[in-house]
Amino acid sequence: MRSLTNLKHPPRFSLSSHVDNHLVLTAQTPCRIELFVLAEDIIRVLVLPDGELHGPRSWAIAPGMDDVALEGRERRDLSGFTPPPFAVSGDAAQLVVETARIRLTVTLDGGFCAWDILHEGVWQRVMSDRKTQAYNFGWWDQRVYHYVERRKDEIYVGLGERAGSLDRANQSYEMRNIDAMGYSARSTDPLYKHIPFYVTWQPEASTGFGLFYDTLADCRFDMGRELDNYHGHYRHFVAEHGDLDYYFIASAGTPLHAVRRFTWMTGRPAWLPKWGLGYSGSTMTYTDAPDAQQRMGEFIAQCREHDVLCDSFHLSSGYTSIGAKRYVFNWNHEKFPDIDGFVQSYLDHGVRLCANIKPCLLQDHPAFEEAARDGLLIESRDGDPAWVQFWDEVGAYLDFTNPDTIDWWKSRVKDSLLKHGIAATWNDNNEFEIWSPDAIAHGFGHAYPAHQAKVLQTQLMMRASHDAQREHAPERRPFLVSRAGGVGMHRYVQTWSGDNYTSWETLRFNLKMGLGLAMSGVSNSGHDIGGFSGPAPGPELFARWVAFGIFLPRFSIHSWNDDGTVNEPWMHPEVTQQVAALIKLRYRLIPYLYELLWQSHSAYEPVLRPLFAEFPHDPRCLVDGDDMMLGSQMLVAPVVEAGQTTRDVYLPDGARWVSYWSGERFDGGRTVTLPAPFEQPVVLLREGCVIPLNVAEQHFGHAADERAFIAVPPAGAGIARGGCIEDDGESEAWRDGAQGRWHVTLTGDANTLQVAIEREGWMSQAQSQVRVFVPMSEARAIVCAASTHATLVADHTADGWRCVTISIPH
């Protein structure tokens, strides 16, 4: 345990070591501050009050990598970073470290840090430690503190999945993952995820920065809610255990830079299979029924009857039941008398199954005694299982910091699920609610109190599931989902916002929750469409939920309604036709979503983004609204209030916009009122964009793909440019070059619009003609660029757009 030093004054530091990009400041007391200059825009600060590391290794830092070592990364491991040129200067009062983009000034009396960012040739002060007791040098207790000064004009976004407004200012938040079923998306805290990263944006200076605290401990962020007259205005971070180990990421000009760099620093987002973008059915009701296999068959029949497109189904935990309780990896053969036949019946219709798995064994689980005997469970100090409450029974969590547990888990995933044809794993109820200080984790041979790093268990569980899937089918990309998680979860899984409550308020605030996740490096996410817990959604609310959900990377309708009803596309006959049409719109847009996820994987771009992140110079975009950008080219404005038939939308300044439905053009910097029928959600395209589409006619069980593009060229001289990635959508062959790309460019002058379409690399199918849609108001002559050897086949109007068909050479 860290010893406390009764200091009347903060320690005075001096530079005692400077080796390459690692600087060490020490004091006469054991206090120590280490600085790591990792890139021209990233500097790390490690504060050690007694000179020793107390936290475990890091499982978060993986710069540009697919993963870290199973047992974690040593805290002083700098692999993956390329140190930049930097200067060190100073005097008796301060030390200055300066890169091309950051200037860090450390006041030697107390070790207080002040940060400047170079923006447009001028150094701007963006953050300063609080001048009074910024760190815990043994003043108070064993916890870790960091206090910084707060400016009233600052915006804070991130901290992962949080309830309430997108701007976190004047609020406080806990990261203490819990199973928050039926939460309020406006006010409940804490929730499911542990992502101690946020972006500070200072609109007047157009500068900002990201702060990441690399900790696995329960922690709390106060973003100005607390006031204390002795210290001025401040915000602060408190962790229950470990060390103060934080990364400062400069982000001048746009807040998106900090998000990209944080995502890069914490690992490459997984490139998941394309079918994960399709509609995924789900409900607890089917698998809880005594005739579950028959109920599951009825879902397929209803999809066929209503022509609802579907790519997967999330198999809830009722398939594992014995009586009223659930036992992971157990199949209830009374509910599912023919497992292989059941799975194959879904695959025959192009629907893959994603099976629910949980990391806790109930005390009467058939495998409990074996797991306890072999040391696979988190144990108490006396060697007995560390008992926890789990659902309606007492049980014990599996310990994923024990390699034997990982092997056991992977074996069960393969033998119980994958060998039957189950395609994916749904890692659920994995918050690891361990509160006792007497519960001990194996720690890869270095035991520690399990409650000090609960989220690590979550991360290792999803990794074990991922590795099991990869080992079972190394030629296929694994697909997984996980409810809980922490920094680095994007390397493995798609996620969702947990067991939300059915209400209009949830619809509104889940939108902000998804933006917060994306601005925290986790882009592949969504929500339980319609609401999971509470009353069944009415027809209007359900239709509006679907009209919002089709634009998210994860699109799953899932429920456990209080009245026993099921959220299904056909639950309300009066809107079933519109819901089916919305799902087809989702499939029309999948090439764009797939491209955005590729940009997330390859360039660390957030898929969803708040308007102000894309338009940081427009003050009206700073308002906490109900809109979002899908990538940089598409503005989505869901209806989030009952009884609305139109939608007021503010169009950001600095761009012109075109309605997806009418092709009508609008100048930015103003609010427009647009029609918003259920089946036509308000979508606007940014001038200069080219959006890929799938225009093939599709029906349930009969997937088809035909590439087309919708383009919005500038009204005068200018260029519209875009394209999309192409591969087989599922295999790992892309790693060996089986991947291609479409490039589409429209170059205009006063009289002519020249179209160039090129294919690069491998293509999954030969397509000899491509349709390009431009606004109906586009009256210029359209010609093909001579360099492409393409020819114009047809030019007509379709669905309110001018459509040109172009023949392209093979």
CA pair distance 773, 555, nearest whole angstrom: 26
Q: Is the pLDDT of residue 168 over 70?
A: yes
Q: Considering 452, 473, 496, which residue would you say is the last residue of a domain?
A: 496
Report the chain's mean pLDDT, rounded to a whole number: 96
Q: Can you give the residue range of the structural domain that contains 628? A: 608-686
575 domain-assigned:
no
pLDDT-derived band at 98 (thresholds 50, 70, 90) equals: very high
**pLDDT > 70: what percent of the chain?**
99
Q: Is the pLDDT of residue 751 over 60?
A: yes
2 domain-assigned:
no
Both 197 and 339 in one domain: the answer is: no
CA pair distance 466, 573, nearest whole angstrom: 39
471 domain-assigned:
yes
CA pair distance 37, 46, nearest whole angstrom: 12
Query: Residue 137 has what pLDDT?
Result: 86
Q: What is the pLDDT of residues 637-658, one digit of tens each?
A: 999 999 999 999 999 999 999 9
Query: Residue 75 has what pLDDT?
Result: 96
Query: Residue 396 has what pLDDT?
Result: 98
Both 614 and 745 in one domain: the answer is: no
pLDDT-derived band at 8 (thresholds 50, 70, 90) equals: low
Both 730 and 759 in one domain: the answer is: yes
396 domain-assigned:
yes
Q: Tokens 């629910």 belong to which residue?
A: 356
Both 675 and 645 in one domain: the answer is: yes
Both 95 and 243 in one domain: the answer is: yes
Reference 234, options 244, 221, 248; nearest CA is: 221
Q: What is the pLDDT of residues 781-798, one digit of tens each?
A: 999 998 888 888 888 887
Q: Is the pLDDT of residue 3 over 80?
A: no
Per the rule left: phi > 0, alpha: psi between -120 and 50, beta: everything else, 489 is: alpha
Both 77 and 191 in one domain: the answer is: yes
Read off the amino acid at residue 625: G
Q: Considering 441, 467, 496, which residue would you say is the last residue of a domain?
A: 496
Query: Residue 7 has what pLDDT?
Result: 52
Q: What is the pLDDT of residues 26-83, one digit of tens each?
A: 998 899 999 999 999 999 999 999 999 998 999 999 999 999 999 999 999 999 999 9
Q: What is the pLDDT of residues 338-366, one digit of tens each?
A: 999 999 999 999 999 999 999 999 999 99
Mean pLDDT over 88-96 rounds to 97
592 domain-assigned:
no
pLDDT-derived band at 764 (thresholds 50, 70, 90) equals: confident
691 domain-assigned:
no
Q: What is the pLDDT of residues 190-221, one digit of tens each?
A: 999 999 999 999 999 999 999 999 999 999 99
Those residues whose C-beta lies under 8 Å from the C-beta of residue 427, and which sit 6 or more positions away, are 357, 359, 461, 462, 465, 480, 481, 482, 483, 493
Please give the tally of structural domains in the chain.
4
Query: Are the C-beta atoms of residues 181 and 534 closer than 8 Å to each other?
Result: no
**pLDDT > 90: what percent of the chain?**
93
CA pair distance 17, 23, nearest whole angstrom: 6
Q: What is the pLDDT of residues 614-627, one digit of tens each?
A: 999 999 999 999 99
The model's pTM is 0.97
Both 649 and 725 in one domain: the answer is: no
115 domain-assigned:
yes
Both 321 and 405 in one domain: the answer is: yes
Q: CATH number of the domain that 148 lies in?
A: 2.60.40.1760
Q: Considering 439, 465, 496, which residue would you say is the last residue of a domain?
A: 496
Strands 280-283 and 244-250: unpaired
CA pair distance 49, 36, nearest whole angstrom: 17
**How long, in residues, is the chain?**
810
pLDDT-derived band at 138 (thresholds 50, 70, 90) equals: confident
Both 661 and 713 in one domain: the answer is: no
Q: CATH number of the domain that 658 lies in?
A: 2.60.40.1180
Q: What is the pLDDT of residues 689-731, one digit of tens each?
A: 999 999 999 999 998 999 999 999 999 899 999 999 999 999 9
Read off the amino acid at residue 337: P
List, as one string, the DSSP characters of 20-89.
TTEEEEEESSS-EEEEEEEETTEEEEEEETTSS--S--BSS--TT-S---TT-B-TT--TT--PPP-EEE
Mean pLDDT over 545-568 rounds to 96
Q: Is the pLDDT of residue 6 over 60?
A: no
Q: What is the pLDDT of residues 363-410, one digit of tens each?
A: 999 999 999 999 999 999 999 999 999 988 999 999 999 999 999 999
Reference 489, options 685, 266, 338; nearest CA is: 266
Both 254 and 340 in one domain: the answer is: no
Both 152 and 94 in one domain: the answer is: yes
Side-chain-facing half-sphere of 195: CA atoms under 13 Å? 32
451 domain-assigned:
yes
Both 721 and 678 in one domain: the answer is: no
Q: What is the pLDDT of residues 487-539, one digit of tens each?
A: 999 999 999 999 999 999 999 999 999 999 999 999 999 999 999 999 999 99
Q: Is the pLDDT of residue 1 over 80?
A: no
Q: Is the pLDDT of residue 4 over 50?
A: no
